[in-house]
Structure 1
Amino acid sequence: MEIALQQIINALSLGGIYALLALGLAVVFSIIRLINFAHGEIMTVGGYGIFAGLVMGVPIPAAVLMGIALSIIVAVGMERIAFRPMRGSSVTSLLITSFAVSEILKVLFQNGISARPKPISLPPSLSGTLNIGPLTVGIVPLISICVTLVAVSGITWFLRRTTMGLAMRAAAEDFTMLRLLGVRANTVVASAFALSGLLAGIAAVVWTAQRGSVDPLMGFFPVLKAFIATVLGGLGSLPGAVIGGFVVGAVEVFSQAFLPDSLAPYRDAIVLSVVIAILVVRPNGLIPAARSDRS
């Protein structure tokens, strides 16, 4: 029982990171039909921003804010430079553009910074554990869970209670009609990228806190898992992206914890098999997106 509870906490911690990244992917996809595979590099930029802040000697909270701000700036700049000129192009063209941006940023990281991991030192107070009844829980996983819950709650409030949030939800339903009503498309799309950058920056904070380092490929595998979570939840569905993230995290953690050693090398294949099995039963995802077809 204690082991199961421990793994549930680990699953919530890892699934929260996938949920944040999947939500960022879903926000952009729901509006302009773009799966932004450069989203992982936005997360990596946030990690390097934290590293740069710590190297400059700023306090950790300021370094964290620096990393998140840098992720937002890069996300908005990416939309303006790379994706806005491609708006209206085919899904294939947008996909190729996102891969190209991803590879360009990886090369810049590797040659402009370093191909090796850069360590990020945490205060000793964050490296300890807490005893909760019979459980011994790391402080960083608990912080990760709390940060994820606060971030998802904040994004939900933004989308439901603010003018721009309502405009983004309306754009996800019918972008053409929204433009006919006089809402500026560029503002809505840029805001969606800024929101995805914010989520990637928060994910970078949590991920680097758990890993203790940042490297050029830091965001690749988390965003790949987040994409799987987005498809599992229902492509373009924001609640589905969050639920899909937690499901993928749970399957990954529990398969790692309880699989026999002989099957450990097949963990990722087992995770994908579970996802495929769910999609066979629910081909549109756990919570299909409700939207109108549009070009």
Structure 2
Amino acid sequence: MDIFFQQLINGLSLGSIYALIALGYTMVYGIIKLINFAHGEIYMLGAFIGYYLISKIGLPFLPALLLSMISCSIIGVLIEFLAYRPLRGSTRIAALITAIGVSFLIQNLMVYFVGPEVRAFPQAIKPKNYDLGLFEISNIQVIILVTTIVLMVLLQFIVKGTKMGKAMRAVSVDPDAAKLMGINVDRTISFTFAIGSALAAAAGVLIGLYYNSIDPLMGVTPGLKAFVAAVFGGIGIIPGAALGGFAIGVIETFISGSPIEGMAQYKDAIVYGILIVILLIKPAGLLGKNVKEKV
């Protein structure tokens, strides 16, 4: 078994989850120029909804995944309607502070109602490893990779091949012009929040399946890393978010498996250091283009 290929597979599995969360960040930013810091909490809620559907109701993995995505889509739309839409004409800093406030509100509500304890995620799928020579891959990793690819293909189809996708692209370019052309901007933005929240919920269920544990504060670190991934690839650019998610997952996995003693404990610092370097060297991200604004 080749260590490099094994770590690469592990990194791609983790990166798939970061990519799904990053897509929600980048879609919302691309359409209304808002960093939705409550997005990590949507990911956490998706994990808990999946946990209760599987452990308490006894649903299989796939129905639990789909219901978690639908539930979080509704929650995402409600957050947009109640917290962000009233501030549509306000300054960006007001919306940003509101997003941080919503994030803390959801965190504390979850801690109050379900407690801060770490929970073992139910074993919805019996783990099984496959030896492919150069590396081993588990059925859990296969499910994560396949689910991520399917969701990304569906997202690409929605954005590029549907009427709502065309509306999303129009609103992202110029909301006022889109409104003059008859596009319902509010409905388009709500749809964007619904899609992004559904992807975050899928990531939450998949991470629970991958690590076999969840907790009410699980949205903080992965949420920030997914934000780093979105900036790394190019915030507001869908392929960039996917690329950034996979890249951050691979980098983190290789750091964790580094033969250098003590290196693993610095993996988070290194990931955040990458964000600083990217912002200094190429602020628009790997796939982004620097746009000069006239003042």
- Give the C-alpha shift of residue 259 in structure 1: 4.7
Deviations 1:140-189 (A, max 9, x none): 11211111111111101110000001110111122221111111111111
User: Please, what TM-score do these two structures have when normalized by structure 1?
Assistant: 0.93
2:238 maps to 1:244: no
Aligned counterparts of 1:237 and 1:16: Cα–Cα separation in 2: 17
Q: Is the 8 A contact 1:233 1:285 kept in 2?
A: yes
- Give the C-alpha shift of residue 23 in structure 1: 0.8
Query: Structure 1 residue runs of 4+, over 6 Å off?
Result: 290-294
Q: Where in structure 1 are there 5+ consecutive unaligned residues? A: none
Aligned counterparts of 1:12 and 1:227: Cα–Cα separation in 2: 17
User: Please, what TM-score do these two structures have when normalized by structure 2?
Assistant: 0.93
> What residue in structure 2 maps to residue 157 of structure 1?
157
- Indicate how the Cα distance of structure 1 residues 138 and 246 shifts in structure 2: closer, same or farther if over 3 A, else same: same
Aligned counterparts of 1:199 and 1:292: Cα–Cα separation in 2: 32
Deviations 1:213-236 (A, max 9, x none): 221112111110011111111121
Between 1:8-17 and 1:49-58, the stretch displaced more is 49-58
Matches within 5 A, 1:115-130: 115-123=116-124, 125=126, 127-130=127-130
Letter in 2 for 1:149: I
- Indicate how the Cα distance of structure 1 residues 124 and 143 shifts in structure 2: closer, same or farther if over 3 A, else same: closer
Aligned counterparts of 2:227 and 2:144: Cα–Cα separation in 1: 20
> What residue in structure 1 maps to residue 267 of structure 2?
267
Aligned counterparts of 1:29 and 1:111: Cα–Cα separation in 2: 30
How many percent of aligned residue pairs carry the same amino acid? 36
> What residue in structure 2 maps to residue 99 of structure 1?
100
> What residue in structure 1 maps to residue 137 of structure 2?
137
Letter in 1 for 2:213: S
Letter in 2 for 1:60: F
Q: Where in structure 2 are there 5+ consecutive unaligned residues? A: none
> What residue in structure 2 maps to residue 63 of structure 1?
64
Q: Is the 8 A contact 1:120 1:214 kept in 2?
A: yes
- Give the C-alpha shift of residue 137 in structure 1: 1.6
- Give the C-alpha shift of residue 101 in structure 1: 0.7
Matches within 5 A, 1:108-257: 108-123=109-124, 125=126, 127-257=127-257
Aligned counterparts of 1:209 and 1:124: Cα–Cα separation in 2: 8
Secondary structure at 2:188's aligned position in 1? helix
Deviations 1:221-263 (A, max 9, x none): 1110011111111121111111111111111111111251133
Matches within 5 A, 1:19-30: 19-30=19-30
Letter in 2 for 1:97: T
Q: Is the 8 A contact 1:64 1:205 kept in 2?
A: yes
> What residue in structure 1 maps to residue 73 of structure 2?
72
Q: Is the 8 A contact 1:235 1:289 kept in 2?
A: no
Secondary structure at 1:35's aligned position in 2? coil
Aligned counterparts of 1:92 and 1:25: Cα–Cα separation in 2: 17
